């Protein structure tokens, strides 16, 4: 059932208004839209590759000019055309143009400034009229460039990533991304009717993807690089503390309308779970994201947050930085706390009914 029909059933729109709106909107069949999208992504590389004939000298300014032309073409298509083929073609042009602009800077400057340029260009491309997919990808590129810029840093002119393990910059950024995503979903009802709602929504989607990327990254480094730099890992502790604080803050906020006889036990369970899962902070981050997605009534991200928790727990169980007994204890204690929470909620539900 379409959104218009649901609004009609709820009495918000009349049948005449719904019929008028449907007559103004043309939706291509699914198979035709899919073929148009595929055709656009086949045509875009061919057009881009043919244009490279004019820029065989590989001068940085040439790449920048060509990237600007592609971005201008993408903006034109987003504003002028409203079918799947041209929208997908505009998406391909936009991503290629951003890549060329960033490459033109990196060809003439041997530093990490191209990451900041890429972040700025990607953020700027969320401003013109475009699709949710395009804005989400641009927001993701902007956040990704900023994260990589924070991750790498100079050591006498040589840019390295292993040295970062002794510094907590990326972990702090991971906590900030989790807090940003949680705040966006918690306040969804406030920005949903705002003029900038499409950009807030794209940022919320990009933030969720960045959280999963950072959590997966931490799972990898905790089982590999931490062995080599075990004496200089304050960042993982900061990430664990930040994840616990975020989870407890969300539990306190979401339970604010409950009566004290129910709220106090829930907060006690939240504190116990935060303590039990301190060795697996991504579990707390996934729990926080799933709570906020459920609160915002976004079923897709709620399901993906739960799936991410399962996958990250599997990675945690087969990692080598803790003994099997310690990992089993963490998982068993966390599971027992969640089981107690389930029984508590069932008891309250029976009393209410």
Query: Which of helix, strand or coil describes residue 280?
Result: coil
Mean pLDDT for all residues in the chain: 77
Contact 295, 189 (CB under 8 A): no
Distance, CA of 91 to CA of 125 (rounded, Å): 11
Whole-angstrom distance, CA of residue 343 vs CA of residue 323: 30
What percent of the chain is predicted at pLDDT more than 70?
A: 71
- Any idea which residue has 């006690």 for tokens? 268
CA dihedral sign of residues 341, 342, 343, 344: positive
User: How many angstroms separate the CA atoms of 352 and 341, rounded?
Assistant: 17
Q: Given a cut of 90, is residue 203 above it in pLDDT?
A: yes
Q: Given the structure tokens 């449907």, which residue do they identify?
A: 22
**Domains in the chain: boundaries:** 31-160, 163-353
| Model pLDDT for residues 320-335, shown as the tens digit of each residue | 666 677 777 777 777 7
Q: In which band, very low, low, confident or very high, does the pLDDT at 54 lie, cut at 50, 70 and 90?
A: low
Specify the higher pLDDT residue, 295 or 5.
295
The per-residue pLDDT for 229 is: 45
Using the predicted structure, report yes or no on whether residue 71 has a pLDDT greater than 80. yes
Name, in order, each residue with C-beta under 8 angstroms of 220's C-beta and a sequence gap of 6 or more: 315
d(CA 310, CA 216): 12
Query: So what's the pLDDT on residue 165?
Result: 47
Q: Using CA atoms, how far apart are residues 182 and 162, in angstroms rounded to an integer? A: 30
- In whole angstroms, what is the distance from residue 270 CA to residue 273 CA? 5
Nearest partner of 222 among 329, 334, 330, 319, judged by Cα: 319
Look up tokens 């991971």; give the residue.
Answer: 174
Which residues 6+ apart lie within 8 Å of 87 measured at CB? 40, 77, 78, 81, 131
Q: How far apart are CA 327 and CA 137, in angstroms?
A: 36
Q: Pick from 102, 230, 237: which is nearest to 174 by CA?
A: 237
Q: Is the pLDDT of residue 296 over 80?
A: yes
Pinpoint the alpha helices (H) of 195-233: 197-223, 225-228
């Amino acid at each position: 059932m379409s959104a218009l029909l649901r609004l009609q059933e709820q009495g918000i729109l009349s049948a005449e208004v719904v019929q008028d709106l449907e007559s103004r909107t043309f939706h291509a069949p699914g198979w035709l839209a899919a073929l148009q999208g595929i055709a656009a992504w086949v045509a875009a590389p061919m057009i881009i590759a043919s244009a490279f004939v004019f820029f065989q000298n590989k001068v940085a300014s040439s790449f920048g000019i060509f990237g600007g032309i592609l971005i201008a073409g993408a903006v034109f298509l987003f504003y002028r055309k409203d079918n799947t083929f041209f929208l997908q073609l505009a998406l391909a042009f936009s991503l290629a143009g951003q890549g060329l602009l960033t490459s033109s800077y990196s060809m003439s400057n041997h530093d990490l400034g191209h990451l900041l340029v890429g972040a700025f260009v990607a953020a700027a491309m969320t401003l013109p009229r475009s699709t949710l997919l395009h804005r989400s990808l641009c927001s993701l590129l902007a956040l990704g460039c900023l994260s990589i810029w924070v991750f790498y840093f100079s050591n006498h002119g040589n840019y390295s990533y292993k040295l970062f393990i002794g510094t907590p910059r990326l972990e702090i950024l991971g906590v900030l991304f989790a807090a940003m995503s949680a705040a966006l979903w918690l306040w969804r009802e406030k920005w949903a009717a705002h003029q900038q709602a499409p950009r807030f929504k794209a940022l919320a989607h990009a933030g969720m993807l960045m959280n999963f990327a950072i959590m997966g990254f931490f799972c990898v480094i905790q089982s590999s690089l931490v062995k080599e730099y075990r004496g200089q890992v304050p960042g993982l502790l900061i990430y664990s503390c930040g994840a616990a604080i975020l989870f407890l803050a969300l539990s306190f906020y979401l339970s604010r309308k409950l009566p004290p006889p129910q709220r106090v036990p829930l907060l006690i369970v939240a504190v116990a779970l935060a303590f039990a899962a301190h060795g697996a902070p991504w579990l707390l981050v996934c729990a926080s994201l799933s709570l906020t997605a459920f609160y915002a009534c976004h079923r897709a991200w709620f399901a993906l947050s739960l799936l991410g928790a399962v996958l990250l727990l599997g990675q945690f169980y087969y990692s080598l930085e803790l003994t099997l007994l310690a990992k089993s204890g963490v998982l068993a204690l966390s599971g027992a706390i969640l089981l107690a929470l389930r029984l508590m909620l069932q008891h309250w539900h029976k009393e209410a009914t």
